[in-house]
Each structure stands twice: as C-alpha cells, then as structure tokens.
Amino acid sequence: MTELLSNYLGGKWQAGSGAGTPLFDPVLGDELVRVDATGLDLAAGFAFAREQGGAALRALTYRKRAALLADIVKVLQANRDAYYDIATANSGTVRNDSAVDIDGGIFTLGTYAKLGDTLGDRHYLPDGEATRLGKDPLFQSQHVLVPTRGVALFINAFNFPSWGLWEKAAPALLAGVPVIVKPATATAWLTQRMVRDVVEAGVLPAGALSVVCGSPAGLLDPLQPFDVVSFTGSADTAAVIRSHPAIAQRSVRVNIEADSVNSAVLLPQDGPDTAAFDLLVKEAVREMTVKSGQKCTAIRRVFVPEALYGQAAEAIGARLSKVTVGNPRNDTVRMGALVSRAQFNAVQDGLAYLRKHAQVLHDATQHLVDADPAVACCIGPTLLGVTDADAAAAVHDTEVFGPVATLLPYRDTAHALALVRRGQGSLVASLYGSDAAALGAAAVELADSHGRVHVISPDVAQLHTGHGNVMPQSLHGGPGRAGGGEELGGLRALHFYHRRSAIQASTAVLDALA
C-alpha cells in the first residue's frame, strides 16, 4: 500500500483512522500516496491553533513576523526540486507550469516579507488620522486595525496546491493569525509536503501553521466568531459554505473566489496586421494552454471586431496547432494533463455542452506524446466560435475549467463591453489596443465588474505580467459570480485578518498609543 500522508493539527502529526483516498499520476495512472482525515479532533486542533499559535504570533511585531516569512522562503527554496517532482507526478504539469505554482507561491511570500518589514515594530495598524469629536480637539477618535483572535481556515482548489496556500498564508501570518489549510484532495501532496518542510524546520511557533488532508466531516463546525474562512472553488460549494451556521449565525468572516468566465477584448482601432492583434492571439493561446487551462483567471471568451473574426480564428488556431500535449517528463511536450480523471470527465462534459451552442474552430483531437490516451488525463486545446454573440447565452454563462475558449465577434466598443459584462462579474478582463485613451476608458468601464483589468498595449509587450498571472501587488478576486471576494493587493490583504475599531480618547492617550 502507498504512503498515507499525515495531517499536522494541534501541534503534532496525526494520521487519519481510515484507509485513505488515493492520489494518482494523471498521466501514467499510478497511485502515488493516500490522504485521510477521518477521526481527527478538529475542535481541539482549531483551539490549539487559536490559543497557542495565535498568541505566539500576536506577541511578535509585524517586522518580526515578516522575518518569519523570509525564513519560510529559504526553507521552500531549499526544497524546490522535490516540489517540482511532486507537481510533475501529481498535477501532470510541465516544468514551466509547475513554476507558476511553486515559484509563484515563493515569490508571493517574499513580497509580503518585504512589505511587512515596512510596517515596523508595532502590534496594530492605525487606520487613517485621528478626528476630533467636538469643537475642542482634546477628545478624538482614532480607528485602528488589530489582528483577529481566531484562526484562518483555507479551503483551497486543486489547481494551485502551492500558490493557493502561500498567497493566503503570507498575509495571514504577517497579520498575526494562525493558518489551517485544507487543500483539495486530488493534489494535496504538494501542500502537505511544503507544510511538513516548514514545520520540521521549526520556523514558526507551534500552532501557527496546520494542514488537514482528505475530507474530514464537519470541517466548519469548530469555527468561532473571530475566525475567518477563505475558499477557492466552485459556486455550488461556496453556497454551502455561506449557509453554514458558523457563517450565517456566528458571523465568521468569509472570503469567496468562485467561477469566472474571464474575457480578452481586441479594441476596434487595431487590425489584423498590428502588434495589438498579435498580442491578443499570443495571450489567448497562452491562457488556454498554461496548466492546461486550469486557472481561475484563464481566458474563456475572446472578443474581436466582426470584420476580424475569421482572421483571429485562423491565427489562434495556427498557434494552437503547434502545441504538443502529453507526458510532462518528455522535453518536447508543452502542455501536460488535467489533474485527475474526474476533471478530465468534467471538461469533456462541459466541452460537449458548449459544442451544442458553438462551432469548433480548432479541434482538440491530436496525438499524445509519450502518453496512453486510454490512461492519461490529457486533452488538447479547443477553440470554439460563435457568430452571434448576443444569442450565445451558454458561452457567457459556462466555464469549462480546461484548455477551452470561445471566439466571439462584436459590432463596436459599447457592444463588446456589454458582452463582457454578461459574464456577471469576473476575476480579470484583458484589453488589447494601441489607443491609450480608448484603452483607459474601456478599463474604467469594466472595473466595476472585474477584480482586475489587464491592459496590454504594444509599449508594454515585453513588460506586462500576463492576463492570468496574479501578482501579489494587485487585487485578486471579483464581484458577482466570481464570488465577491478580495485577496492580495499588497497590504490591503491584511485587512481581512484584522478587526477595525474606533478608539475614542484624549489626545494624550492617542499620542501614547502612537
């Protein structure tokens, strides 16, 4: 029997009492490890993190907690090779795609270590300036942000077992809040290994970082009013979380990142022989193929002027035809597998549904390199197309979480932006063009329905960070169907882990606080 990975909870390693759920290599089909959380005393584990881990973290200043993040970075960098091996085996990703997850997580930690160092040797954050409460300035109100005295429970998605952990944990730990992570079962191995390395290195106080693998019953039940939950996953699961008594009755703060039908738009000022057109084509293909399209920020809808529909289809298809798909261990392979048989089936079902409403512009059927199509969870990139974008309700409403995108034509800029907004709130939209004024106006027009608007013009062709790359300096999240949550955004991320209070006192008292 394969190794059963242990959970780290209550300051100790604990094995579940069940046989465990197997994790597989999505290319070779081999069983790798098992995870299980059956029988864990969650209430005791949460209490330990809350009381021991939280107290120890809050006793440190922001600067000292930032130093802890820097120490975690060193531990993770020392073990990068092992993480890449796990990602190849368990996620089926080529090396460049593994880097997005692994090195992206490490980079985010390093960014928050630097940001935290600027906060100095304090234990709370002032929120704005003091304000007088009457004619006499002696009695004033000062808002402050103090770390919440609870735990941060992370329920993460399968596509980013490294970055998904550290983009949440970095601001939480910097804020002084202990972390309990529940990674998605299918790819939990990498998360568990990273936590194990950090715990064994003795970087953090006991109870500051815990991991629960598998699917424990009643995960949300131990939550108390000052705890927080951050969830990344499906809208259906998000609805279940929101209705749990911990959230609905005990007012546990919750952050949700759910479905997102993200868009890319070529503005009408730029034709097929322009740099902006080429940038759109390149980015659309990249977003369809990086991590086999398994990114919450991936482009799902591509909008171009009506006159350019055929040329865009041809250009995108030509690039997609060069993408080799198969075993990520083969150096000639550019795109690996979906993470599991369940995800493979889900993508196939979603693609079959969209094909009823759209034309196939680039067929995904192709030879797999060094992989058995009867075993490997590989699917080639598929470009769909719809000539009547207004009637394409299914395309605007359905996210297929894989290498699938749909090309749609529009009449004018106003029509394009109206079509984008039919996504009902998304994590990101990207705009392509060379007219700065038109790009800026379109970006502001889309800002209320998107957490991020990524504007790509020829002058930043070599500088922009990518439509789907989430940078720690920028906000990650989105309104509406995207979940309504917010993460990252530099020091803004710390607000989720703090409580705001107004201290009304004399000027002398407030000066003493400062």
> Is residue 296 flagged as an active site residue?
yes
CA atoms within 13 A on the CB side of 472: 25
- Determine the Cα–Cα distance for residues 396 and 385; give it in Å rounded to an integer: 12
Instruction: Give the model's pLDDT for residue 366.
Output: 74
Question: What CATH number belongs to 262-471?
Answer: 3.40.309.10
> Is residue 257 flagged as an active site residue?
yes
Give CATH superfamily name and number for 4-258+487-513. Aldehyde Dehydrogenase; Chain A, domain 1 (3.40.605.10)
Instruction: Give the model's pLDDT for residue 1.
Output: 67
| Low pLDDT (below 50) residues in the chain | none
Which one of 167, 257, 287, 399 is the catalytic residue?
Answer: 257
DSSP-derived pairing of the beta strands 426-432 and 450-456: parallel
Give the other-Cβ count within 10 Å of 70's Cβ: 16
HEC string of 416-472 equals HHHHHHHHCCEEEEEEECCCHHHHHHHHHHHHCCEEEEEEECHHHCCCCCCCCCCCC
C-alpha of 196 from chain center: 22
Which one of 167, 213, 283, 296 is the catalytic residue?
Answer: 296
Contact predicate 398/261, CB 8 Å: yes
Query: CB burial class (10 A; 0-12, 13-18, 19+) of residue 495?
Result: middle
Contact predicate 277/271, CB 8 Å: yes
Element (H, E) at 165: helix 163-175
Instruction: Give the model's pLDDT for residue 308.
Output: 98
Query: Domain limits of the chain?
Result: 4-258+487-513, 262-471
Burial 355-375 (b: 16+ CB within 10 A, else e): eeebeebbebebebbebeeeb
Measured on CA atoms in the order 2, 185, 49, 477, is the torsion positive or negative?
positive
pTM of the shown model: 0.96
